[in-house]
Amino acid sequence: MRALIVDDEPLARERLAALLAEIEGVELAGEASTGFDALEAAARLKPELVLLDIRMPVMDGLEAARHLDALETPPAVIFCTAYQDHALAAFDANAVDYLVKPIRVERLRAAIGKAQRLSGSTVRRLENAAEPGRRRSHLCARVRGSLVLVAVADIDYLLAEDKYVVVHHAKGEVLIEEPLTALEEEFAGRFVRIHRNCLVALAKLSGLERTPDGRVLARIAGVGVPLEVSRRNLPALRKLVRTL
């Protein structure tokens, strides 16, 4: 079994690697120091197991686990944490395996023995129980078998098309398979709905304009083409633009 170690602390990674060396049938595939790096490493190294620290900069372990589930062959995940008081109860309630640091080699061996892959919905339940109302820092899309992460802060607007949502961001566009309403709910306050099929980043919204034929368009900073505002969303949007 090939394992990826993810922790932002070098000494913690060092110790985990030393422990793994004692366990038969497990081999170290690589190391990563943030959730973001972990996804990149997981896509490249294709480990069967990821030992994931929870508190990390850029992207924490919970969010990384959720994105890992989008990989073609998602790895099994074991969370590692120093101390998280009430958050640990969330893990127990969802029967998700976690190890507390300093990790004992017997506990690690037992956890690896029954390690399983986590479905995205389990992780979502976990996130909600540990910290209600938390938001992802990145959206994750699969492009030709590999993962593409888009920082939420870089997104200009989201456009629903058939069963996909097109994420238009600073460096291009990607498709994700998530309903627009769920995104609207998760990122309330960051995105505003201007049309039945469109959410716009509030920070990028630069103004409204009216066309000669009476339609209203929303201008978005850095995007050449203005987007159509539906009659239904116009009053709320007007109010919002005035307060900007």
Partner 1 sequence: MSDATTRRWLPQFCSLPTLFAVMVVAELVALIIVLAPDQHARPWLSRLGVTTVYVQWLALLNAVVLCSMRQPLERLSARAGFVLAWVLSVAATALGSAVVSQMDQALGLGLTVPAGESERFVLGNAAIAALISAALLRYLFVLEQWRERVSAASKAQVDALQARIRPHFLFNSMNTIASLIRTRPAEAEQTVEDLADLFRAALGSGDAPGTLGEELDLMDHYLRIEKLRLGERLRVDIDVAELPRDLPLPRLLLQPLVENAIYHGIQPLADGGTIQVVGRHAPGHIEIAIRNPVPPDAAPARNGLALANIRARIEYHFGTRGELRVEPGGGEYAVTVRLPDASPDR
Residues forming the site for partner 1 (CB under 8 A) = 8-12, 14-15, 18, 33-34, 55, 57-58, 82-83, 85, 100-103, 153
Helix or strand (DSSP H, E) at 244:
none
Q: Mention every residue, 6+ apart, whose C-beta is less than 8 A from residue 170.
A: 154, 156, 222
Q: State how far the Cα of 206 lies from the Cα of 217, in Å rounded to an integer.
A: 11
CB hemisphere CA count around 168 (13 angstroms): 19
E strand map for 24-163: 27-32, 49-53, 76-81, 98-100, 138-143, 146-151, 155-161
Which is nearer to partner 1, 35 or 47 (by Cβ)? 35
Length of the chain: 244
In the complex, minimum distance from the CB of residue 8 to partner 1, in angstroms, rounded to a whole number: 8
Which is nearer to partner 1, 12 or 62 (by Cβ)? 12
Which is nearer to partner 1, 9 or 178 (by Cβ)? 9
In the complex, minimum distance from the CB of residue 104 to partner 1, in angstroms, rounded to a whole number: 10
Q: Is the dihedral of CA 187, 190, 193, 198 positive or negative?
A: negative
In the complex, minimum distance from the CB of residue 48 to partner 1, in angstroms, rounded to a whole number: 24
Q: Is the dihedral of CA 19, 78, 177, 241 positive or negative?
A: negative
In the complex, minimum distance from the CB of residue 5 to partner 1, in angstroms, rounded to a whole number: 12
Which is nearer to partner 1, 137 or 206 (by Cβ)? 137
Which is nearer to partner 1, 2 or 190 (by Cβ)? 190
In the complex, minimum distance from the CB of residue 89 to partner 1, in angstroms, rounded to a whole number: 15
